[in-house]
Chain A
Amino acid sequence: MSTLTLRAAPPERLDFLAINPLALSRLSQAEAERLEVGTTRRGVRLGDCFSVSLDGSDTLTIEGGHERLDRVGAALSEGAIRITGDVGQRLGAGMAGGRLTVTGHAGPYAASGATGGTIIIEGDAGDHAGGAVYAAKAGLDGATLIIRGSAGAHLGDRMRRGIILAGRAGAFAGSRMIAGTIAALAVGDHPGYGMRRGTLVVGAHGRMSPTFVETGAHDLVFLRLLARSLKGLSAEHADLLGRPLRRYSGDLATIAKGEIWVAS
């Protein structure tokens, strides 16, 4: 297992796009230490802030995260990265496969545009987790994002496919969703704002927009299949589907093929 150990708080935001197990396995210790990770005009090399220990394996541990570490695990295609601590924006952005685990909190835009793999945030996530960055076509796009703590506003904004599980989420969860599934124990105001398709399963919600209409209680085979697939990821979220569910259809401002299931 390769390890990067943070020695001191980074003096500027660092870009970890190029730091993944596959890339590091091809480098010598000295080459890895010389990798540019800084983002300002001064710049920082990996060895300036981290003690580097490489063994060529497909697992990388970052000991001691920091909220200035951007794009950790971005574009990861295989292997695993574990971060003990916090990370900055765009955790696992554009990731295609592999496994990312963060023991602390993540900044905004976690898992944006991620097409495969699993991202687990044990703390909280910032705004736009699983959401689209500026001018991107979609947010989460096939990966699985699990947030054990709470998520900020705009969870899964414009997500295209994949699954997001969150403890609590802020306002506008699932806004402008194109498709996909979000399950949260509680969400804030206006869940599903402007959603086209997709499924939200929530334990509680804030203000529901008048553009969602209640379409009754249902017992669908789909819900039992969804519960079974969620069970492996989070028993708490799968249990939501075992409770009586009311279905809301919307957003009527758009093509209205989305649905919000509210557990009572």
Chain B
Amino acid sequence: MAAWVKGGATDADTAIEAAASLLAKARAPVIAGLSADVAAIRAAYDLAGRIGASIDTAGAAATYAELGSLSRIGAMTTTPAEAVGRADAVLVVGAAPWRSQLMKRLSALKPSRGRAAGSDRALLALGAGSEGAAATLACPAEGGLPEAIAELRAYGRGHLAGDTPRAKLAGLLADAQFGVLLYDPAEIGELGVDMLQGLAMELSETTRCFTLAIAGPDQDRAVVPVAAWLTGQAPRSGFGRRVPEHDPWRFDVARQVAAGEVDAVLWLAALPVPRPGWLASVPSVGLVAEAEANVADVVIAVGRPGRDLGGVLWNEQRAALTYWPASAPSERPSAASVLSALRDRLAEGRAASRSEPAC
């Protein structure tokens, strides 16, 4: 097992010991990233609960844009397979969805099922910038995407009328048999998602219209259900007071690091996600598949689920959690087993008492 402490190669036991001591002396440890298989996410919540850590995920900005809107007005959603099979009009909101794999399938194939089977698929772009060259009709969004979505919705409701490109866009969606609004929640934000869901719901009064959010490179789509079944809450929870407390502002790890509230971070990235800039400024343990000696103060190389070992991951194409067998099995330990080892070490020693004088 490859492991490093302060950049120097070492063996597994030493690295786990160093990681445990780094976490044991922390006042407010955080387990961040959570880009891993379901077993490792479960183990991360278990460890957090035992040591009183808080949790944050790699794709939290997008996740909370989605959840914030969902908790307020609900959602009209569909799956990638349904969108490819049935949609005769796809409104692509923003630039990010054009870079997704799904767009290639939507462009290459025609609807094959349902009322729109055999007809052409209209690809409509709203605020795509330079990305939306393949669109049938493209509208810019000079005032930002939330404003553009709001105007589209006002045309959809009949509160605005005119012969503008956005009016035409709203008309095409209303005339479609099966419309899909494709978006990246991180790009349009909670207000944009809220407005887009409202648009889908209103269009669905006369035709069929659904939203579809593209997922980031993170495993947040797996973390949300796991967090819900383990804590009854969304991912950003803290266990400092023994019970899970959900607070998306307080447990935002980037904010916590900037405010100096965190003194140890365990970065879990068994599947590669971009490494955040704040990681270098706080004592850290890295459980990573693509391990480098300088990722964190203590680095332990773990197996990548779906390559080194099997694991349950978010399957973007099927929009479900599915098992991925190992494509190139190796001896690397699973992230879940390393987290369990850490939990066993930390459970041996007594956690710091909650009533020691602090200042």
Contacts and interface: CB of A to CB of B under 8 A. Distances in A.
Interface in A119-161: 133-135, 158
Contacts of B261: 12-13, 68
Given A89-B249, A253-B198, A194 B150 contact: yes
Contacts of A8: 359
Contact of A41 (B51, B154, B245, B357): B51
B359 A11 contact: yes
Interface string A160-180: 000000000000100110000
B104 interface: no
B265 interface: no
Contact of A211 (B150, B245, B358, B359): B150
B160 interface: yes
A172 B143 CA distance: 13
Given A9-B359, A41-B52, A190 B147 contact: yes
B341 interface: no
Given A194-B194, A253-B150, A12 B28 contact: yes
B298 to A, nearest CB: 20
Contacts of A7: 359
Contacts of A48: 357-359
Interface string A27-45: 0000000001011111111
A26 B230 CA distance: 38
B352 to A, nearest CB: 5
A10 interface: yes
Given A134-B248, A252-B159, A43 B154 contact: no
A193 B147 CA distance: 8
Interface of A is mostly: loop
Nearest to A7: B359
Interface stretch (B64-72, B128-136, B302-310): B64-72
Contacts of B248: 134
Given A48-B358, A254-B198, A207 B159 contact: no
Residue among B68, B146, B352 with most chain A CB within 10 A:
B146
Given A11-B359, A48-B359, A134-B248, A42 B191 contact: no
Interface string B132-171: 0000000000011011011101100101100000000000
Contacts of A210: 143, 147, 151, 154, 160
A135 B247 CA distance: 11
A251 interface: yes
A39 B241 contact: yes
Nearest to A50: B359
Given A9-B359, A193-B146, A256 B159 contact: yes
Contacts of B239: 41
Interface of B is mostly: loop
Contact of A38 (B64, B150, B354): B354
A53 to B, nearest CB: 18
A108 interface: yes
B221 to A, nearest CB: 19
Interface string A70-91: 1000000000000000000100
B141 to A, nearest CB: 11
A138 B358 CA distance: 36
A89 B151 CA distance: 33
Contacts of A25: none
Residue among B150, B198, B238 with most chain A CB within 10 A:
B150
Given A41-B51, A209-B147, A252-B154, A108 B358 contact: no
B275 interface: no
Interface in B302-359: 351-359
A244 B239 CA distance: 54
A11 B246 CA distance: 21
A199 to B, nearest CB: 19
B250 interface: yes
B272 interface: no
Contacts of B356: 42-43
Contacts of A41: 27-28, 51-53, 239-240, 351-352, 354
A248 interface: no
B333 to A, nearest CB: 27
Interface string A220-260: 00000000000000000000000000000001111010000
A135 B70 CA distance: 9
A235 B157 CA distance: 40
A134 B71 contact: yes
A253 B159 contact: yes
A49 interface: yes
Contact of B238 (A9, A39, A68): A39
A50 B194 CA distance: 43
A42 B153 CA distance: 50
Nearest to A34: B355
**Nearest 6 A/B pairs, CB to CB:** A41-B52, A43-B354, A252-B159, A252-B154, A135-B71, A253-B150
Given A48-B358, A176-B194, A252-B159, 13 more contacts: A12-B261, A40-B27, A43-B355, A68-B259, A108-B249, A134-B71, A134-B246, A134-B247, A134-B248, A172-B191, A190-B144, A211-B147, A254-B198
Interface of A: 7-13, 36, 38-45, 48-49, 67-68, 70, 89, 108-109, 133-135, 158, 172, 175-176, 189-190, 193-194, 207, 209-211, 251-254, 256
